[in-house]
Chains A and B, each alone.
Chain A
Amino acid sequence: MARPLINTAGRIARSIQSSSRRTYASHPAKARLNIPTDYGTTPLLSHTSKAALANPELSQGAKNGTTSRINLFSAINAAMAHALRSDDRVLLFGEDVAFGGVFRCSMNLASEFGEARVFNTPLSEQGIVGFAIGAAVEGMRPIAEIQFADYVFPAFDQIVNEAAKIRYRAGSNAGMDCGGMVIRMPAGGVGHGALYHSQSPESLFTHVPGMRVVIPRSPAQAKGLLLASIESPDPVIFMEPKILYRAAVEHVPSEPYTLPLSKAEILKEGEDITIISYGTPLYTCQSAITAAEKDLKCSIELIDLRTIYPWDRETISTSVNKTGRAIVVHESMVNAGVGAEVAATIQDKCFLRLEAPVQRVAGWSTHPGLGYERFNIPDVTRIYDTIKSVLDY
């Protein structure tokens, strides 16, 4: 796969720094809603050690430990370091992971654990995933990295026809499965990723029984969910919102811990609307909720799906049966996206309680063209407006 952004990223970054005027990713001067997320104050991140350790899902050991303030790529790095240290079956490989990875997630791991366990592969996604499957069925626990989710498609056959089906087709031949295999990939919009450095192909994998699809929203979550994915007896696709790699910084428990898969998390309780999302858009949802609750005098429940498939249907239906209104928000295209599955399930489970049609705020049915990202990815205004129309329905 061609990866032009890697080579031009530095040039782009320098040109931004040297110029007082930006040519992209700004917001209008009078904007009140569509302003960038302030990751330094958002309530979705733990800004103190105390807040981080208050998470009831943490193991006792993690709760009693310390925290460090790190970003998302460092949390991924810490999780992988722990996995490599505690289980000699864990391998980490992909394109350019040995020197630390193009997003720095595997920094220092090759030097600490050796090039036999942390290594570069040739540039071939179907090879990387096929290789991981073979290692997994022979008892290893491989973490395979696809450099960008946009380049996972050459491995689609290996994921859908092989990884997802191996246990099923092996029947009672115990142990012939891909448990422990995790395919990590940076996903989602990044401001200037255009067609092939922006995609979020999760819904293509939620259509595949046998795979688990996980998307974390924060450093603390990334660590816990990644360790749970590596422990999982099922193969996992782990999508990392790349825009959060450096942007999202929070206190993360230093001890190893896992967070449950297939379990949604209620981030904020509310009475009038349930907003369901995952990954980066949760921050946008939070901003929209703050504005809407102030302006419209309402109370909104925000739920992070965390595991996109098999997903926590019960938490969502319980919430919507309480609020009577639901909005699903995701970055990728609305057509046959995760929102379609969630909305259909809600109308099935909550039909008698629904007071407004379930709404989906998602990417439009187009491609992520470079110049149009801010009009394509769901923004605060679109979510705010949807909240308004759902309340007014």
Chain B
Amino acid sequence: MIADSVEADANEVHSRLFLNTENLGKGGTAAFLEPRQSDVLFLPCEVRSFCDPSFSSKSHNATHVTMKRSIAVAERSIRTSHALRTGSICTSCQRRWNSVSQRPGSDRVQFPGAVNSRFTTDLKFARATEEDAMPTFRVLDQEGKLVDKNREEPDISDEEALRLYKDMVSVSIMDLIMFDAQRQGRISFYMVSAGEEGIAVGSASALNPRDPIFAQYRETGIFRYRGFTFDDFMAQLFATKDDTGKARNMPVHYGSRKFNVHTISSPLATQIPHASGAAYAMKIQNLQNPTEDPRVVACYFGEGAASEGDFHAALNIAATRGCPVLFICRNNGYAISTPTLEQYRGDGIASRGVGYGIDTVRVDGNDILAVREVTKKARDLALKNGGRPVLIEAMSYRVSHHSTSDDSFAYRAKVEVEDWKRRDNPITRLRKWMEGKGLWDEEKEKELRSDLRKQILTAYRKAEKEKKPALSGLMSNVYAEPTEEQIEQMATLRKVIQKYPNEYDVSEFDGGLDGLTLDKK
């Protein structure tokens, strides 16, 4: 008898464990919560304007951490949740229809997965190669002249044009010096941006400095445009005590809270879904803080990284959640040695955007004014109607080796590279345009180059002599607070170093062995 009743209990547990699909519409078999049928089944369908001021909430307090109840918090929360609930923040997230039915005799099919698809009796496969490739937007030709004489002059001040030019040249000179520095064994690794300076600097110039950026690694120009000094670059490259990354990352993996650029990590494409999530945070925060300028997120990646699953995941979720994010693909023809023909067979990366329901444009990445204009328009578009993603494919050519660990002439002809270098690159194109306007000449060019070279070498020499960070950097910041296990391990390491002083050189680290501490706050 006892066994029987136990068995009956177990029976019930099993039968309740998973959802009874038949009862789903009635709120499942939940015994402990009484679901309201209407709430469970239907999301709010109102579609109201994102910017409607009647849905504004009190200013969002970013430092609020405590979960304790307070009247103020509850009030704000009620207001915000009301705003977020009733003023649907995402028109594109709404269901596209409320019910799906097929009207008799209709020439359109209303399957839930593809509304408004026309019936056809003509069996025809959509062919990827039938149409021309998506056009590439450009403003200047290779001689730095306006392609369309009827178009207005580019919307850029002389001062800003000079800034873009100087930032591109800064990056290209630093690249040459640091590539050599790696060859001489002064730093462990380097990656240049040659040929792609225009994409980074041009797009960064069209963003708000408060727009968060997620980058891959060949976007040094972003950091320069946002305010990185040569000292900042060198601290990271030489992994000195002034490196905000605490000498933990490989060279070129820059990051900065001050300039709103997230730390670069080596795994490719992982930053793309981050950008979608960060953009969703922007969307919520833009709504919660209507008095502040709305922000978007920019995310950079190469055409090789776009083959990763994270690219797919990121674009799809950004589209479904209406995230204000600019996906900026640098299509430079190669992923290390792999040419694009082995990377994909569609029309580049741009053709995929449309498939995700994302507004997409292809731009000449060697034309910095075109990149700037496209990014500016894309940013406006991303903030429209509650937010949405935009895909920009910037075409260019990777003039350099992939990195200091790569000799690209093992897989491509030197003449091809030389041809690109000579025929078309973003720096000479903007220079020609500026010369055409009387903004620039040979003398200024010489002066700029010599001045930048001096500045870079000064920062280089200073960083080279600088100490490494304190040894605590080995284990701090893994968690917000060090764990007991870590504190014990640091004590063990200290003992070993003290026992075998000749086996370790701690003098190059800030504070020497004294820097090897890990205290609980």
Q: Which A residues fall within an 8 A CB radius of B?
A: 5-7, 9-14, 16-17, 22, 25-27, 29, 35-36, 38, 40, 70-71, 73-74, 77, 82-89, 91, 98-100, 102-104, 107-108, 110-117, 119, 121-122, 124, 126-140, 142, 154, 157-158, 161-162, 165-177, 179, 190-192, 209-210, 212, 227, 230-231, 233-234, 242-243, 245-247, 249, 256, 258, 262, 310, 313-314
Contacts and interface: CB of A to CB of B under 8 A. Distances in A.
A258 B309 CA distance: 37
Contact of A104 (B30, B86, B245, B285): B30
Chain B interface bracket (under 10, 10 to 19, 20 to 34, 35 or more): 35 or more
Contacts of B256: 173
B74 interface: yes
Contact of B257 (A131, A165, A173, A262): A173
Nearest to B253: A169
Given A16-B14, A102-B19, A116-B89, 14 more contacts: A6-B21, A38-B9, A85-B81, A86-B69, A122-B316, A124-B313, A126-B309, A127-B310, A131-B276, A135-B281, A157-B267, A166-B263, A173-B258, A256-B67
10 contacts: A9-B17, A9-B20, A86-B77, A88-B80, A102-B19, A107-B33, A126-B310, A170-B262, A172-B246, A190-B18
B23 to A, nearest CB: 7
Contact of B6 (A6, A36, A104, A172): A36
A38 B2 CA distance: 11
A98 B44 CA distance: 11
A337 to B, nearest CB: 18
Contacts of A104: 19, 28, 30, 33
Contacts of B243: 171
Given A117-B84, A122-B317, A169-B248, A36 B33 contact: no
B214 to A, nearest CB: 8
B244 A77 contact: no
A106 to B, nearest CB: 10
A5 B270 CA distance: 30
A387 to B, nearest CB: 23
Contact of A134 (B68, B281, B320): B281
Contacts of B276: 127, 130-131, 134
B67 A10 contact: no
Contact of A100 (B28, B245, B265): B28
B249 interface: yes
Contacts of A89: 60, 64
- B41, B309, B321, B477: most-surrounded residue (chain A CB, <10 A): B477
A87 B69 CA distance: 9
A9 B267 CA distance: 38
Nearest to A190: B17
Contacts of B62: 139
* Most interface-central of A230, A245, A247 (chain B CB within 10 A): A247
B270 A157 contact: yes
Nearest to B28: A104
Contact of B21 (A10, A110, A117, A132): A10
Contacts of B44: 111, 114-115
A169 to B, nearest CB: 5
Contact of B3 (A35, A84, A157): A35
Nearest to A173: B257
A22 B180 CA distance: 74
Interface stretch (B106-114, B155-163, B478-486): B478-486
Given A162-B265, A170-B245, A130 B479 contact: no
B169 interface: no
Most buried by A among B14, B24, B27: B14
Contact of A83 (B67, B80, B81): B67
Contact of B262 (A100, A119, A137): A137
Interface string B1-26: 00100110111011111111111100
Contacts of B67: 82-83, 86-87, 227, 230-231, 256, 258
Interface in B304-323: 309-310, 312-314, 316-317, 320-321
Closest 7 CB pairs of A and B: A130-B273, A134-B277, A127-B313, A114-B85, A9-B18, A134-B274, A171-B246
A124 B308 CA distance: 13
B32 to A, nearest CB: 5
A137 B16 CA distance: 38
A209 B81 contact: no
A71 B32 contact: yes
Given A38-B6, A162-B274, A169 B265 contact: yes
B31 interface: yes
A148 B74 CA distance: 33
Given A38-B9, A85-B74, A173 B3 contact: no
B77 A87 contact: yes
B22 A111 contact: no
A35 B10 CA distance: 10
Given A115-B43, A127-B313, A313 B77 contact: no
Most A CB contacts (10 A, CB to CB) among B253, B263, B297 go to B263
Given A111-B40, A137-B262, A234 B479 contact: yes
Interface in B52-76: 57, 60, 62, 64-65, 67-69, 73-74, 76
